[in-house]
Amino acid sequence: MHLNQRKIAVLGYGNQGRAHALNLRDSGCQVIVGARPGKGFELAQRDGFTPLPIEEAAQASQVILFLLPDLIIPEVYSQLSPLFSEGQRDIGFCHGYAYHLGGIEKFPKTGYFLVGPKGAGVVLRETFQNGKSLPGVFAIVSPRKETRELALAYAKAVGISEKTLIETTFQEETECDLFGEQVVLCGGILELMETAFQVLIEKGQTPEMAFFECCYEAKLILDVWMKEGPQGLSKKISPTAFFGGLTRGRRLIDENTREKMRVMFDEIRSGHFSAEWKAEAQAGFPTLEKRLQEQSQSELQKTYDRLKGTW
Ligand SMILES: NC(=O)c1ccc[n+]([C@@H]2O[C@H](COP(=O)([O-])OP(=O)(O)OC[C@H]3O[C@@H](n4cnc5c(N)ncnc54)[C@H](OP(=O)(O)O)[C@@H]3O)[C@@H](O)[C@H]2O)c1
């Protein structure tokens, strides 16, 4: 059955949920938003949807998208599971975490799919509104081949480019995503910038100089890297920067760093990380709270606040 002929429940109206629901609707799909009372529910109403309680939305649909926080999905999934245990519905996710690491029961007659855009919800929506699409990934676990057609049609309708839609598995998507955010995007790069900023200040440089050098320019150099490629960048920067970066960069990121990365990957694969994250959530997120407190007092945050708007 064509995607437009099936009712799609988008459960959760947050970062991804809102973008998926709006893009699907603009692509001609029948979308039912499922949300708890509160912020997302009200926003969905303002966007012209008639949101329903989560269970009612799921009941009324043939395709159910879990666009809720990853640690919440298993709980909601288990409440709804009588609805899909017999395989009458297809179940979708935009990240493999809950499916792969969340301990949810998998029903052999049910079709599961993952469609993950490479970008935050606001970027997905803005790109779609500009008539463009984002790269993305998809994965299928299903006894029926229609689930594959459904996932491909869903990806297109939500704004993912057919040319850059990569097929993966739930396991690979989950492991790569967690590893990338921990080691590079939200861990490695940010710690590197902040530590380098602090060392320059320790050595008597001004926070302004340290900020522009270690943080502001990080974005500029990555833009050039994306446009020109690894070797293109090497040829664009000065020979002094090329030589200094090569010889010092490899002292910084050495065999020990590589070994730590392997351990971090193993912690993801073994379930050690997801157990730690679950315990953090059960304790009320103390580590995250402490970090936000530290950041509000940090020299880097203060420098950013002073300089914001000057570039
Ligand atoms: N953030 C991103 O850009 C991004 C990128 C790629 C993939 N993803 C994936 O997208 C999925 C959704 O993440 P998200 O960042 O979009 O989530 P989010 O912004 O945190 O949105 C969560 C939505 O779920 C609702 N919610 C939270 N707790 C709930 C509960 N206990 N019961 C019922 N509803 C609840 C929230 O309701 P209220 O509005 O009432 O709080 C909100 O509407 C996840 O699988 C995530 O890994 C996210």
Q: Which among 95, 164, 96 has a CA at the least distance from the CA of 135?
A: 164
**Distance of alpha carbon 221 from alpha carbon 192, whole angstroms:** 15
Examine the pLDDT at 88 and tell me if it is beyond 90. Answer: no
What is the reported pLDDT for 87?
Answer: 83
What is the pLDDT averaged over residues 50-54? 98
**Distance of alpha carbon 3 from alpha carbon 228, whole angstroms:** 39
What CATH number corresponds to the domain at position 143?
3.40.50.720
Residue 95: CB within 6 Å of ligand 1? yes
Instruction: Render pLDDT for 271-294 as a digit per residue (tens, 0 to 9).
Output: 999 999 999 999 999 999 999 999
208 and 258 assigned to the same domain: yes
158 and 196 assigned to the same domain: no
**Distance of alpha carbon 249 from alpha carbon 247, whole angstroms:** 6
| Structural domain range at position 25 | 3-168
137 and 216 assigned to the same domain: no
CA 230–ligand 1 middle distance (angstroms): 35
What is the reported pLDDT for 2?
Answer: 82
120 and 236 assigned to the same domain: no
Domains in the chain, number:
2
Asked whether residue 125 is domain-assigned, the answer is: yes
pTM: 0.93
Asked whether residue 157 is domain-assigned, the answer is: yes
37 and 159 assigned to the same domain: yes
Residue 120: CB within 6 Å of ligand 1? yes
CA 67–ligand 1 middle distance (angstroms): 6
What is the pLDDT averaged over residues 236-243? 97
CA 68–ligand 1 middle distance (angstroms): 4
What is the reported pLDDT for 84?
Answer: 86
What is the pLDDT averaged over residues 160-178? 95
Examine the pLDDT at 1 and tell me if it is beyond 80. Answer: no
Instruction: Render pLDDT for 198-214 as a digit per residue (tens, 0 to 9).
Output: 999 999 999 999 999 99
CA separation (Å) from 38 to 13, 51, 52, 293?
Answer: 10, 11, 12, 26
* Atom 34 of ligand 1, nearest CA residue: 36
272: annotated active-site residue: no
68 and 152 assigned to the same domain: yes
